[in-house]
Each structure stands twice: as C-alpha cells, then as structure tokens.
Amino acid sequence: MTLQELQDRVGKKIKTLREKKEMTQQQLAKPFGSERSYICDVEAGRKNVTLETLLKIANELEVEVIAFFVWE
C-alpha cells in the first residue's frame, strides 16, 4: 500500500463516518478550529492528516481512532 492509498482510504472512512452522523464538513471542522476545505481535502485524500488531527476528528465523530483503519 502506498501513502496515497492510505490517505484515500482514511479519508473515505472519515467521510463515511461523518455522513453516518449526519454532520457537514463545517460541523466537523469547527470545534477544533479547522476549515471546511481542510476536511474536504482530507476526505478526498489530498491532505495527509496528522495523528493529533486524526484524534480530534475521532473525538468529534465519537469513535476510536482505529475506526479509520478498519475497512470492509
């Protein structure tokens, strides 16, 4: 697996979990001071998310960080 493939998979998982909670990208980004466009880029695999930000996203989505790395 390449870094790009990992970014794509994690981004898609974040999007799936966000949509499952019926949250907008703006609603996900706002509590930790990020912009909607950043979440958009992460979900599209265009940005490499840090562990710190991944933890913040997980907390907002009320999931464990490991949830981003479990694929069907």
Q: How confident is the model at residue 71 (pLDDT cuts 50, 70, 90)?
A: confident
At residue 31, the pLDDT reads 92
At residue 68, the pLDDT reads 96
Domains of the chain: 3-62 (1.10.260.40)
At residue 54, the pLDDT reads 96
At residue 32, the pLDDT reads 85
pLDDT in tens, 21-68: 999 999 999 998 999 999 999 999 999 999 999 999 999 999 999 999
35 phi/psi in degrees, rounded to 5: -105, 155
More confident of the two residues 72 and 34: 34
DSSP alpha helix (H) spans, the chain: 3-20, 25-29, 36-43, 51-61
The Cα angle at residue 46 between residues 70 and 12, in degrees rounded to 5: 30
